[in-house]
Amino acid sequence: MTPLTLTMQAFGPFAGSETIDFTALGRSPLFLINGPTGAGKSSILDALCFALYGQTTGNERDPSQMRCDQADATLLTEVTLDFRLRGIGYRVRRVPQQERPKARGEGTTTHNAEAQLWRLKADGEVETCLVARKVNDATTELQTLIGLDANQFRQVMVLPQGKFRELLLAGSKEREVIFSQLFQTQIFQRIEERLRTQASQIERAVNDHRQHISGILAGGELESEAALAQEQESLAPQVEEARQRFDTAQQQRRQAEQQRDEAQALQRQFAARESLAADKARHLEQQAHIESIKERLAQSAHAQALRPQNTALAQAQHLFTTAQTEQRQAQAVLTTQRAHAEQAQQGLETARQRQAELPALRERHRQLGEFIHKGQQLSELQARFQTAQAAWQQADGALKRDEKQLDSIRQQGEAIGINLERLQTEFQQLASAPAELSRHERLLNQRQELDELTRQGRALTTQQQQATEALSRQQSEVAQAQRHATEQEMRWHQGQAALLALSLEVGAACPVCGSLEHPAPAVQNADVVTQAQVETARLALENHRQALQTAERHTQHLAQQSSYNAEQVQRLNQQLGEWASQALMALQNACEGLSRQAKRRESVEKEISQQTAARDALRREWGALDKQLKAQRPAVEKAKEDALRLESLRDQLSQSLPEDARDPEAMRRTLAELEQQIAQLEKAWESAQQALSIAQTQLARAEEQLRGASQRVERHQQEHEQAQTEWQTALQASPFDDDAAFQAAQLNDPQRGELTRQVETYQHRLAELEGALQNYQTQLAEKTPPDLEALTRLTEAAQAEENTQLEAWRTLDGRLTTLTGIHQKLAAAHAAQAELEAQYQLWGTLSEVANGRTGHRISLQRFVLGVLLDDVLIQASERLVRMSRGRYQLVRREDPSKGNRASGLELDVADTYTGKNRSVATLSGGESFMAALSLALGLSDVVQAYAGGIQLDTLFIDEGFGSLDQDALDQAIAMLSELQMGGRMIGVISHVSELKEQMPVRIEVHASRHGSSVEVKGALL
């Protein structure tokens, strides 16, 4: 990122608008920002950082506090920065939240923070707006473009006053964050996470498989796989023996069932023979009934021969009776038709008399038609008059309503204007509510954190007291164990001396002192201590010592936690100020009140927008309505004229009609009645003529029907007498005495067929019974009935034995099958577990190594960053060696950190005077500045060389040169000059007078009581 122009307006000490054109300093300049204390040198860096990130370089001043007190009240505080990044120009403008005078009236209103970001063309003109207004969107977009957040920007591109040691003294974690962003090494972190995730998944799968194996054994009620193998081995011969016993029992059951089935078959043959004999005896009992049926069938055959003569007589009788009935019906119809013909003749005469009234009725009909036509014209004129009158009244009413609505709109507009003034006043009063709410919410979070830390502090105090007491007890126990162990060793030595004394002999040398005399040999006590007891005492002492060390570490850990807790409490007390001593409820109430004010502010703002929109809508409606009224008035006058003209025409036509003909409805009803009367007369004449014609026709038809019926009666009477004679002759020649005997002997076809079937069925069944009975007599001639009950008992006993053996075999075989299945499942589970363990051996090892859980506890990303840091340190050390006159070099610490802290990116300084490495924190102020400057320059070189997507082609240094001696200062300026020649912009803020002589290109900052100003000197124009 290379700044091009920076414009500061009412910002910091600059009361007006000050613009710095960095392009006027030359290509890749090395320049000095010079000026008296308080003039605003550091404010230039604040403006740069504020334009990019909305924060100052030290992040110690709120952006809303950066307004210049000497600035004019109407001048807005804002910063605009044009910069170039990877060959593309950008422009960012930021305005902090601030109070400004109201546009109307007195007082101030809050101007909310805003930010804009544009992409520029090659000529500096705006090409695209990337962010229109939102501050957070601009910060996010710029952070993405530059690749650094505000803290990282301050550590690698801007070394603010008092902040140049941050990157130098940062720990591994902080330096890892910065370097991973600069060198884009997040891929290695993703590799670590992927390996860790894969190893965790495999580890969980291995544990799941172990539980699965335990579940398989538990499902089979087995304690172990050895128990499974043992039970399988013992069950195999038992299953085979059970199967053989079942086969034997099954064979015996089959033999018993065969004997029982044969006996049942023989028993059924004896029972069938007896049943057939009984059936034959019962069948012979029907013999007499069958003979009577045969006799009746013979009588039916004789009657069948006489049926044609009897049928002919019945038909003749039926025809004669039917003809007599038809003759009587025809006579009745003839009488009726004669009466109808006479009535039709009389109706015709009556219709002829009424026919004379028709001419007078038709004349009256014509007159009524003329009156009705004029009445219709009168009705149409009346309807048109009513329509015109209604249109006139409607238009006049609409005109009056619109005039009333116009007056109402004016009143509503006045009311909305009054309400808007009230809402705007309230909105201005609530302008600072969001910022105050944000500040109080931050204070509330800090206060809650303070309360939690206070509670933790009390708990830590209690734990420290308990740990101190436990430590005292452990110390006492260690001392007691020490005394006991010493006492046991002394007693053991005394026992050994007593044992040695037992082997002394007079005149023999003592194995201890070599004396030949033994005046006071050791005496063995009753309480003898063994070597095992001594070892036990020593072991107990060692255990107590370890417990003491654990208690000491625990006490130290609690002391560290308590100290850290106290530091945090002190920090929060300082940040909270007076709120630290007040009740939490008061702060919560303040937040709630401010929250209500902020919500009310949003509500008021929304109401203002709604009321403004409503007022604008009313204005538009008023204009449209006024225009509409101007067009309505002529239309109302025309509607009035049309109504009056139609009323005059209606009155003229009404006077030309008789008084009784002015009602169109009454005239239509009279005309309809007259038309109906004429139609009835005409229809009555036609109906009478038609009725007479129909009556005459029907009379002739009735006379003809009577003649035909009389002729049929005579013919059928002769046929009936002849059939009667023939029937009597046939009956006398038959075996029947009279007609009744003939009728009794007759059978219809179904009856005759049923009786014949009964005779045939009887004879057929008798033949079947005799044949079957003869067969059974032949088969059972030499056999006796079997003992079926005894055979059944034998079969049931064999079946029970088979079921018992089957159940025993199934139980044993089922258990063996279950065990075989369990064995197969275990084999598969073991194979899968072995595969998973082999995978875990690979992935787990890779994960442990990549995530820094082995050796020096250096992760993969930190290892890569360590290599990159080595490159940075090579470049940095070259510069530090020159500035320190060969004394110092920056090196990476190789020893791992204590405890579980991540390591690998800590820095030490190699001191050639002592030949030892020591922490960079031990350097003096001037030495720290030289080391930090060297590190920043080396980092810039390496980042540029690796081209990781981030360009560190600008460096600003705020103070620090005053701590260097002349030689180191010369070396520092020489290095900055070399860096400038490499294409980087270097800006230095310093009071050192020697720098003015060595750096002719300067930005002079002048201070005055009316505000500061800037001036570029030595620029290449």
Inter-CA distances, 225 with 211, 304, 837, Å: 14, 102, 20
CA distance 987 to 976: 10
- Per the rule left: phi > 0, alpha: psi between -120 and 50, beta: everything else, 85 is beta
pLDDT in the model for residue 591: 87
CA distance 541 to 532: 14
pLDDT in the model for residue 947: 46
CA distance 525 to 859: 64
Report which of 1013, 952, 961, 980 is spatially closest to residue 44, judged by C-alpha positions.
Answer: 1013
- Whether 662 contacts 379, CB under 8 Å: no
**Most confident by average pLDDT, 332-341, 425-434, 966-975:** 332-341
pLDDT, tens digit (0-9, with 9 covering 90-100), for 229-277: 887 788 888 888 888 888 888 888 888 888 888 787 777 877 887 887 8
What is the C-alpha radius of gyration for the chain, rounded to an integer number of angstroms?
A: 66
pLDDT over 60 at 898, yes or no? no
**Most confident by average pLDDT, 348-362, 452-466, 486-500, 874-888:** 452-466
Q: Provide the edge-to-edge strand list for the sheet that holds 954-958.
A: 158-159, 954-958, 985-989, 30-34, 1002-1006, 1013-1017
The pTM of the full predicted model, rounded to 2 decimals, is 0.39
Contacts of 501 (CB under 8 A, 6+ apart): 518, 521, 522, 523, 524
- Whether 520 contacts 498, CB under 8 Å: no
CA distance 886 to 585: 62
Inter-CA distances, 711 with 140, 315, 316, 716, Å: 127, 18, 16, 9
pLDDT confidence band for 115 (50 / 70 / 90): very high
pLDDT over 70 at 661, yes or no? no
Q: What amino acid occupies position 291?
A: E
Contacts of 809 (CB under 8 A, 6+ apart): 239, 242, 243, 245, 246
Q: Which one has a higher pLDDT value, 534 or 606?
A: 606
pLDDT over 70 at 965, yes or no? no
CA distance 90 to 124: 9
- Of the CA atoms within 13 Å of residue 393, those in its CB half-sphere come to 6
In Å, how far from its chain's centre is CA 413?
A: 48
User: In which residue are the tokens 């613009």 written?
Assistant: 19
pLDDT in the model for residue 90: 93
CA distance 306 to 298: 14
Indicate the average pLDDT of the chain: 78
pLDDT confidence band for 1021 (50 / 70 / 90): very low
Per the structure block, which two tokens stand in for 974?
């020489």
Q: Is the dihedral angle over the CA atoms 721, 722, 724, 729 positive or is it negative?
A: positive
pLDDT over 80 at 651, yes or no? no
In Å, how far from its chain's centre is CA 856?
A: 45
**In 430-530, where does DSSP find H-type helix?**
433-502
CA distance 852 to 191: 13
pLDDT confidence band for 553 (50 / 70 / 90): confident
CA distance 232 to 226: 10
pLDDT, tens digit (0-9, with 9 covering 90-100), for 67-98: 888 888 888 899 999 998 888 899 999 999 88
Q: Helix (H, G, I), strand (E, B), or coil: what is residue 110?
A: strand
pLDDT in the model for residue 642: 79
Q: Which of 609-623, 625-639, 657-671, 830-844 has the lowest mean pLDDT?
A: 657-671
| Segment (H or E) for 884 | none
Backbone angles phi, psi at 887, to 5 degrees: -85, -45
In Å, how far from its chain's centre is CA 383?
A: 68
pLDDT over 70 at 981, yes or no? no
Beta bridge partners, 956, equal 158, 987
pLDDT in the model for residue 155: 61
**Most confident by average pLDDT, 307-311, 457-461, 699-703:** 457-461
pLDDT confidence band for 329 (50 / 70 / 90): confident
pLDDT over 60 at 176, yes or no? yes
Beta bridge partners, 115, equal 94
DSSP designation for 19: E
Per the structure block, which two tokens stand in for 882?
């020159």
Beta bridge partners, 19, equal 7
pLDDT, tens digit (0-9, with 9 covering 90-100), for 483-512: 888 777 777 776 766 666 666 666 666 766
Inter-CA distances, 631 with 395, 623, 635, 866, Å: 11, 13, 7, 87
